[in-house]
Structures are given as structure tokens and as C-alpha cells.
Amino acid sequence: MLSQILSKESCANCRFCCSFRRCSLWETPLFDNETAEKLSKKGYSFVSDKGFFRMYLDDKYKTNDENEEVPCYFLDSKKGCILDEDTKPFDCKIWPLRVMKKEDKLVIALTPTCKEINKIPLEKMKAFVNDEVGKIIFDYAKNHPYIVKEYREDFPVLMYDEN
Ligand code: SF4
Ligand code: SF4
């Protein structure tokens, strides 16, 4: 969804957002029931929480180092993400954008840790989200409210939901 602004090559050379420290487990992508069930049959384990599913990565850490990163189940070191477009979580399709709740309003905010997106001026990102993908993202979030995260102060807001 963000291919206009984020090239596949940049992501292939980075993959930062497909590995997780313990403090970033809240950022792991969320899977719907049907997808988690389908993937569970292939041996992947998930934990359920209020109508959605997360990968269970908590027991994959080998050290007590808080900076240790554990890769997503679906990250292949050569091919990148091995999930097809139908199976890939919406969270991953829009990352580094996030739908968040800020003072009872839905907003689309920018995760500040993506180095490539940070090279793009914030005003340009705001225009892209408002003109191109914002409505699609809000519509999806209203039908799948589990993807909405609580707002974090260091995430710049790109668009407010006015409906
Ligand atoms: S952090 Fe940004 S550049 Fe890196 S893989 Fe994720 S989206 Fe791509
Ligand atoms: S599902 Fe794919 S895109 Fe999403 S975190 Fe895992 S490897 Fe990355």
C-alpha cells in the first residue's frame, strides 16, 4: 500500500520492523481468527487476545539482553516476508503508519523508527496519507477495531478521522 513512497529495495535492505525486542512486542502484527487458524495448522503458535491473535514470541528470547531481537515467524533471511498479500496482516501492509486513538478520535500516526520514511518531509507524508491511503486505512480500522492502538506522544499525527 505504501509502495509509492517506500521501495521494496529499501525494505529488503532494512527489515527492522520484522524483528522485535521485548519492549516492542506490542508492535507485533495482529492476525484475524481465520488467518491465525490457517497458519496454526502449519505449526505456528499464536496467542489470542480480545478477538485477535498475536505470534507467541515471548519464549523465543535466548538472553536477558533487553536489546535482543527475535524475528517474526514469517521473515526469511533471503526472501523477506514469506506471506502472500491475502495472508499478510494489515498492520504490516501499512507499517510504519499506525491507526491510534487520541483523545477519543482516530488518527493515522507515523512510527518514528522507520529510517526511510524519516527521510521524507512530514508535510509530504501528510499529503500522501490525506490524498491517497487515509480513507482506506480508517475504513479498515472501523471494521477491525483491534488494530487501533493507544496514542503515543512521539508518533507524529498525519491525519485525523473527521467522520
Ligand atoms: S523499518 Fe521502514 S524501511 Fe525498514 S523494513 Fe520497515 S518499513 Fe521498510
Ligand atoms: S508478517 Fe511479514 S511483514 Fe509482517 S512482521 Fe512478519 S515478516 Fe514482517
pLDDT tens, residue by residue, 120-150: 999 999 999 999 899 999 999 999 999 999 9
Q: Is 26 in the pocket of ligand 1 (CB under 6 A)?
A: no
98 CB within 6 A, ligand 1: no
| Nearest atom of ligand 1 to the alpha carbon of 116 | 3
The pTM of this model reads 0.90
pLDDT digits (tens, 9 = 90+) for 47-73: 987 789 999 999 999 999 999 999 999
- 162 Cα to the center of ligand 2, angstroms: 30
Question: Average pLDDT over the chain, rounded to whole?
Answer: 93
Percent of the chain at pLDDT exceeding 90: 81
Distance CA 89, CA 147 (A): 10
Ligand with the closest atom to the CA of 79: 2
CB-side exposure of 8: number of CA atoms within 13 Å? 3
Mean pLDDT within 99-118: 94
Expressed in angstroms and rounded, the spacing between residue 91 Cα and the centre of ligand 2 is 9
- The whole-number average pLDDT for the span 39-48 is 93
CB atoms near residue 147 (< 10 Å): 20
Kindly state if the Cβ of 88 falls inside 6 Å of ligand 2. Answer: yes
